[in-house]
Structure 1
């Protein structure tokens, strides 16, 4: 039988939390924990964000927090959300709401004191669970406890209506399925399939955020394969055609103990084309750092010398390339071990040192320094003594070439 009391968890003892719930009338039934914190506590997994729902109006919440000297930030006042800043971290406090109108991207809300009405506007049953801060008593209006026990992600009410209210719920359905689910709810899956093109109306930032979160979820590989079979991603990232490379990457990550990374996993879904990666990175409005990483992950180049690769493109990009493009698992393992605990060195030679050896300042120095660096990399980063020897040989060759060039040039003086 599903539990009726919220289990004991560390987050319930966060400094300042008891004082906050007391100020917001938890003892009188005016405030309850809601959503992810309740769901994750029941699943015995770490809780990231903490939310309180309250029947108090936003103005009452602000007044109570200020009277108790609790810092209050009106982060979403028009939607009834105020962030209480505690010494142990922020807590979002939101007044109970009902939707007045929606357009698939935004909602106009009205405040209410009806808990069931507030629950009815949430997306999935497992996200509409409430808990009394005083007693831990659970409130479940739409069968969320049963769905949680069955690892089932199910829309509240009519799935098509819920998607019409907010198109992002299509991607959220699959993200929650990848994180918590075992089998998809059939009605929800069919509704997402039917309305997949609605995703085109969303901002690329919202799509990006959901997609990147999905890609590192527990069953990302299986759920992405399901999404491709149902045509869910075609309206926004049609270049993704198969999840095979994602599956291979996930296997390598597990073998090497590498933390799943969303940008690396996105690269695994795309063709090996750095130019295309740049275009998709721009379309999804990735940050500059994420976009550069995606381009490097999809670039050409061997992975047989992992340290040389890391020196040229950076450790993170080299790890991506190893996991994505190594010709075999053995090559990936070997390269990974080469990078473990290795600090990328700096070339122990400068252009000034080459000038001291006789080269004239100018482009010859830059060319010679590149030649020294290439030999140093090829010899797998030897110490300074060997670099001096390499530099002597490079400078001697450059000087000889210069002398030969001058000797071969025709004279310019008068006869």
Structure 2
């Protein structure tokens, strides 16, 4: 199976041509090829993001070639053969062809080579071991990468167990690529190897596990990949608090937001959310968003009236209430009309500011101190309970001043 990349703006861009020309000026024609995601996505008709280049040049020669062409060279990983070139503000990660010498299950010691097949043999999946030259001709050293890309097959290069024990992150990458590019049934040998070797994921950093999980959940439809993770007992290892349920299925259909999809995998309680956040080291913003939604959830339902919705938004914030409401909707997909009405109300209601404060109480003779806080709290509670009336604030304050405590 052969292919040639056509109609690829990134391939013919001035910045791309400048980088390739710089490398070939030192290494000769054919010393550099595009590799990995940019080739794979171009082949299957998906958008191309990062542009990676493989080269027979040694890292120091790559750096010298880039600088000689007047481009910026950043030695981002010289020990592993990587130099980043910047042309027209566009970064290109350039890596010398490599073979693994040893690995501890996450980090590898490499030796440089000029053998394209040897470089392909150390890559993770066959559809990622595709190369293309400056003219767009695609090279498929494994002989199966193009066919896999066309069929949506995620298959390890060579023996799955060998690839995984070289880097246990490849277990999570298998499911991530399954979510983004896979079709049909998952490769049986790959799935079996992931299940057997899943305990090795303890070598991975929590931050990296979280990042891979979120990339997976960003896929247009990650449901089959998450189901495969559950089948292989990988999901329970990285997210023991979580479970696969119809709530997750409904949430995927409702929103592309990976945080909300993660919420649908987690229990609807603050403690469970915070336990998962601590173990996987969620970013603070993600942890707080999920925890606040779980905290607000008991008071949120699809049957709320308008006043109850406004009170919840005032107390918890619009995003928290929307998140909790989407959880309730996922739990009861039949409530679409109610959910859409409430979401519309939230988006259109401007949250009012507390209409009185310490200055108003001071005018009534209340000295600053605990009494001020008590009265303002009582005022706010009554104002919210009455659905935020716009008038009558002075009378309400006076009534609170004369009312007996308790």
TM-score (norm 1): 0.88
In structure 1, the residue matched to 2:128 is: 127
In 2, Cα distance between equivalents of 1:75 and 1:357: 66
- Which deviates further from its counterpart, 270-279 or 313-322? 313-322
Distance 1:66 1:306, change over 3 A: farther
Contact conserved, 1:153 with 1:177, CA < 8 A, in 2?
yes
Deviation digits for residues 15-41 of structure 1 (CA, Å, limit 9, x no counterpart): 522111110118700111111111111
The residue that corresponds to 2:321 in the other structure is: 318
Q: Quick check: 2:22–2:68 contact (8 Å CA) kept in 1?
A: no
CA contact under 8 A between 1:130 and 1:139: conserved in structure 2?
Answer: yes
CA distance in 2, matches of 1:174, 1:286: 20
Alignment check: 8 A CA contact 1:208 1:285 kept: yes
Structure 1 position 397, deviation (Å): 2.0
SS state at 2:74 partner: strand
Partner of 1:10: 9
Q: Deviations over 1:141-168 (max 9, x none)?
A: 1211100111110000000110110111
**Equivalent pairs, count:** 390
CA spacing shift, 1:177–1:393, aligned 2, 3 Å: same
Matched, 1:279 2:275: yes
Shift of 1:342: 4.8
1:261 alignment partner in structure 2: 257
Which of 250, 253, 257 pairs up with 2:252?
Answer: 250
For structure 2, which runs of at least 5 residues remain unmatched after alignment?
Answer: none
User: Structure 1 residues 315 and 57, CA, compared in 2 at 3 Å: closer, same or farther?
Assistant: farther
TM-score by length of 2: 0.90
Aligned mate of 1:301, from 277, 299, 315? 299
Q: Is the Cα–Cα contact under 8 Å of residues 221 and 252 in structure 2 kept in the other structure?
A: no
Secondary structure of the 2:93 match is strand
* 3-state secondary structure, aligned to 1:46: coil
Report the 3-state secondary structure (helix = DSSP H, G, I; strand = E; otherwise coil) of the residue aligned with 1:347. coil
Report deviation, 1:204: 0.9
Offset, 1:72: 1.3
The CA RMSD measured in Å over matched residues stands at: 2.0
Mapping 1:78-97, distance limit 5 Å: 78-97=79-98
Q: What are the Cα deviations for residues 359-387 of structure 1, in whole angstroms up to 9, with x where unaligned?
A: 332222223323333344445445xxx25
SS at structure 2 position matched to 1:346: coil
Number of the residue aligned with 1:369: 376
Out of 352, 358, 361, the residue aligned to residue 354 of structure 1 is 361
Tell me which residue corresponds to 1:398: 400
Tell me which moved more, 231-240 or 101-110: 231-240
2:322 and 2:90 map into 1 onto residues whose CA distance is: 33
Q: 1:181 to 1:369 in 2, by over 3 A?
A: same
Counterpart residue number, 1:68:
69
Give per-residue Cα distances to partners, 1:217-263, cap 9 Å, x unaligned. 1331222122112211222322223232111212232xxxxxx2222
* Secondary structure of residue in 1 paired with 2:73: strand
SS in 1 for 2:62: helix
Aligned to 1:413: none
Aligned ranges for residues 219-258 of structure 1 at < 5 Å? 219-253=221-255
Deviations 1:286-308 (A, max 9, x none): 11111111212222321434444
Aligned to 1:140: 140
- Rounded Cα–Cα distance in structure 2 between residues aligned with 1:400 and 1:348: 20
Question: Does the 8 Å contact 2:81/2:95 carry over to 1?
Answer: yes
Rounded to whole Å, the distance in 2 between the matches of 1:184 and 1:125 is 14
The 3 A distance-change label for structure 1 pair 274 and 396 is same
Aligned-pair CA distance for 1:348: 3.8
Q: Distance in 1 between matches of 2:346 and 2:231?
A: 38
Q: Distance in 1 between matches of 2:14 and 2:188?
A: 43
In structure 2, distance between residues paired with 1:69 and 1:322: 55
SS in 1 for 2:238: coil
Cα separation, partners in 2 of 1:111 and 1:264, compared to 1, 3 Å: same
2:341 aligned to 330, 334, 339, which one?
334
8 Å Cα contact 1:160-1:191 kept in structure 2: yes
